[in-house]
Structure 1
């Protein structure tokens, strides 16, 4: 007997040929499938784009957006209303300022008129004397010891008002109480005795009886230019003088007739 007969062998037993063939077939099938898949795939495959679906607004979030829009609209409305209120307040202030100025102008004119009437009354009382009572009251004038014609009655009131405006400014189209043009001064002076004259010099120059410049009495209206087409008027104040709103350089003045000789005169008193 061999001395190696009882030593076990360490070699693995041979696999059967059938198992080896089966395993080779499976491996081959897998490799063939991978090869076919690789051949079917394009050489430059497009990258896969992942689409992310945005979450929809929840009812709470939608409500918040709506509330924000409503608040923004309310702010815009409030701003517009505020602008309208500011404009209305500015307009009201402007109207109030104008009304106040007009009220002050009327009050000043009334004050001057009252002062003129008081002054005329005082002058009339002072001018009364025995020698003047023989003169006709309708003449509206009297003479002192020097022969100078003095105004009385209605003429005195007219001249008192006109003389109270001496020193005021001349402004074309102005009606007082601190500035005048020639015809507005004459109109305002005669209004003190209730005589309503036209506003401009042209019709004023034909509103009474024509009189000679050699026979003037206080209160007569003097005019420059033609009767009915006069370009300037004033009031004869007696003693060879007149009171008038002459021009922007002189304002309302009392001057002698030779300073600016008139063209004619009319009498209303």
Structure 2
């Protein structure tokens, strides 16, 4: 043995083994152990970082898919809002149109109701006027009434006083008459106002049959409301009337020219 063998400073340093280097490297490098160990690290341990880096594209694709879905959802929401706005606008226009039509219908109905009410009022007034005249005539024509007898006597007396006078169309006396002018003048003697023309005189009072005539009834020729000639019944099957320009005012039997109908105003 060499005399220097026991002196530590003269000992040859021992070369560390590969495993000891790996261990020191591990202690020194911390998380870099896999890179330093080199061939001593198992193969599957070296591939692990690669698999971890390959997960990134999968995460990116998922994010892209999620973003696309969010965009589709936003587009659908916008479409729904637009469709709802169009529906609301259409409903609003329809409601306004319906309200306008309703207002027009109400206005038209009110106008029609007003018109009918006015027509009813006029009809009522006309009926009341006829009823009043009828009541007056009933009073005048009562068999026991001396007034009625006096009226018919005055009427017939006036008509006979006009016999022989001329017939002049449109004349109402005192020297000449046409048919309706004579009847109007005769009834005015007893306080009864008749319309001027034959058509209107034929609708006055109450219609009576020719087999039930009384003195003072107005005879008419033609239909009621469109009569073309009138005269006055004076009893005994006779009448007085302004016939025409050739005969003037005459007294004739009914069968001389049978009338169409008669009205009673007394």
Instruction: Give the TM-score of the pair, scaled to structure 1.
Output: 0.45
Instruction: Give the TM-score of the pair, scaled to structure 2.
Output: 0.45
Q: In proportion to residue count, which structure has more helix?
A: 2
Radius of gyration: which is bigger? 2
